[in-house]
């Protein structure tokens, strides 16, 4: 797979997506913190495990479908925001524990800005910091 003719070619999935006018985003393997769908899946699995044990296939299917429908949209939005914050932390050179601390930081104000992003350099006329 390191041959030049393979490296410069799109996968079949990417070609199909391009033809449909969309894009495929490949996430690193084993980094569930970067994929909100993994967090939604974990929420649904936890809900499924909370059901009492049952051997009826009809009841198992019913519980599985109910669990898959259980994650609220608000939780999904929070998972997406947390995944974005993990990606942001990794993008700024943080290691796993630093990125986890950053991703779970709770800001007290909606206008509070993260310390590691140089907003004063990006948009000095629009950012109000304690230094101004």
The pLDDT tens digits of the residues spanning 24-33 come to 887 667 678 8
3-state secondary structure of 110: coil
Q: What Å distances lie between residue 126 and 61, 109, 112, 123, 131, CA to CA? A: 53, 17, 13, 6, 13
> Can you give the pTM of this predicted structure?
0.59
Q: Are the beta carbons of 34 and 28 closer than 8 angstroms?
A: yes
Q: Where are the domains of the chain?
A: 33-122
**Distance between CA atoms of 80 and 24, rounded to whole angstroms?**
17
* pLDDT tens for each residue of 40-78: 999 999 999 999 988 899 999 999 999 999 999 999 999
């Amino acid at each position: 797979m390191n041959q030049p003719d393979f490296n410069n070619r799109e996968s079949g999935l990417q070609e199909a997506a391009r033809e449909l006018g969309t894009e495929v985003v490949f996430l690193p393997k084993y980094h569930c913190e970067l994929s909100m769908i993994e967090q939604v899946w974990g929420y649904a699995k936890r809900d499924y495990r909370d059901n009492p044990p049952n051997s009826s296939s009809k009841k198992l299917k019913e519980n599985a479908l109910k669990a898959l429908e259980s994650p609220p949209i608000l939780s999904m939005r929070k998972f997406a925001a947390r995944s974005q914050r993990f990606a942001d932390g990794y993008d700024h050179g943080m290691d796993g524990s630093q990125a986890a601390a950053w991703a779970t930081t709770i800001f007290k104000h909606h206008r509070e800005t993260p310390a590691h992003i140089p907003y004063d350099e990006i948009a000095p006329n629009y950012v109000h910091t304690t230094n101004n």
